[in-house]
Amino acid sequence: MSIADHKAIVRRYFEEVVDKSRIDILDELATIDCIIHRPEAPEPIVGLEAFKPALGRILQVYSEFATTIHDLIGEEDRVACRLSHRAVNRGDWTSRIGRHAVAGRTVTWQAIAIFRFREGKIAEEWVSRDELGMLIELGILARSAS
């Protein structure tokens, strides 16, 4: 598959799986032995059968979710994506510093996701997001007054 094909898969992943919570589409997009590295997971999520419920739990936190892709850069078997998410929290949200009551609050954050492909499917994903910005926007942490 070409880099353009890999980029199309990344777009489909965000537009259909993430934004529309169509977890079933992961069967078409990811390898059965995919490895997913996410900031809220203390260890990599290994395998499609582990990834599907994990992503489902992540998306259940939000009543609305929308992704904007700003850049897609591909080389060899990798695609890097600079994006932003906008979401409305359904209830409590767990960050790396604890659990927070944020029901009904909207939050926008920037993220970088890097995908590695094998045989036309996502074999690995690394996600890095601006969690500090999320905590400040949600009012959990105050901005410094300097």
Residue extents of the structural domains in the chain: 3-82+111-129
Amino acid at 55: L
CA distance 133 to 62: 17
- pLDDT tens figures, 65-86: 999 999 999 999 999 999 999 9
pLDDT number for residue 93: 86
> 21-37 burial by CB neighbour count: b if 16+ within 10 A, else e?
bebeebeebbbeebbbe
| Rounded-to-10 torsion of CA 119, 122, 123, 129 | 160
Contact between 78 and 92 under an 8 Å Cβ cutoff? The reply is no
| Domain 3-82+111-129 CATH assignment equals 3.10.450.50 | yes
pTM score of the predicted model: 0.92
- pLDDT tens figures, 22-72: 999 999 999 999 999 998 888 999 999 999 999 998 888 898 999 999 999
Contacts 24+ apart (CB under 8 A), 45-54: 51/26, 52/23, 52/26
CA distance 4 to 41: 30
Contact between 77 and 116 under an 8 Å Cβ cutoff? The reply is yes
